[in-house]
Amino acid sequence: MPSSDNSKAVKLYRQATAYYDQRKNQEALDELKCTQPPLGEWIDRCDYSFLMNTLNLSDRIFAKEFPGVQLSGEERKQFAEELSRHCEDGCARCHLKKMYDLQWESCVDRAIAENREVIRRAFAHAVGKK
């Protein structure tokens, strides 16, 4: 497998995500204040989709992945709903951060979908498979 697949995958990724300007996004976020900083800290420190997916894990998987966190599925569901309401109805800053996170996820998903074979070859090459 030619090593050019690796550089091609990187190039495709950069092209697909080029319009996502993290610095500009952060500047826009810095102009806004969170209305509920304890909730906003969760939104700030985590990717929105990752946070919501984590809170929605089954009790068995959540307990395995986060053994020191004693939250029931119902408590996690309530917290996820509170975060969602905060982002949608309560806070312009966290709403914007959520939108940036979802935009980034969309860019990455699109790049993967459009270049699945090149990415597969690059991963195979990286782990020594041909």
Structure tokens at 46: 């985590």
CA 88, CA 90: separation in Å to the nearest integer? Answer: 6
- Residues 100-127 pLDDT 10s: 999 888 888 888 888 788 888 888 888 8
Q: How confident is the model at residue 8 (pLDDT cuts 50, 70, 90)?
A: low
Q: Are 19 and 111 in contact (CB under 8 A)?
A: no
Q: Where are the domains of the chain?
A: 4-126
Mean pLDDT over all residues of the chain? 85
DSSP 60-127: HHHHHH-TT----HHHHHHHHHHHHHIIIII-HHHHHHHHHHHHHHHHHHHHHHHTHHHHHHHHHHHT
